[in-house]
Amino acid sequence: MSDRSWLRLDCPVCGGWLGLPDGVPRGAAAQRAARRIDAFAHRHRACGRVTR
């Protein structure tokens, strides 16, 4: 079991991944984190599903 204290999203097809701090407070910081996730997901759309 991982003791990682941050969030990791993986592209199961190409192996690329995104790491971002966990527990980001609501508001602007959360919006910025969501944008990073959206950009990553878009980049890997051609690969397939992105998993947490």
Partner 1 sequence: MRLRQFRLVVAGDITEERADRLLWRAVDACVEAGPDGAGWVAFDRPAPTLVDAVVAGVRDLDAAGLVPDRATGDDPLVTVETVAERVGRPAEVVRGWALPPPVGPHPRRPVFDWPAVMGWLVRHEDYLVPDDDATLEAVTLALRVRTLAPRVDRLEPIRSLLYP
Binding site for partner 1 (CB under 8 A): 4-6, 11, 14-21, 24, 28-29, 31-36, 38-43, 45
Between 19 and 49, CB nearer to partner 1: 19
Burial of 11 (0-12, 13-18, 19+ CB in 10 A): buried
CB 9 within 8 A of CB 50: yes
Minimum gap (Å) between residue 18 Cβ and partner 1: 5
Least distance from partner 1 to the Cβ atom of residue 1, Å: 14
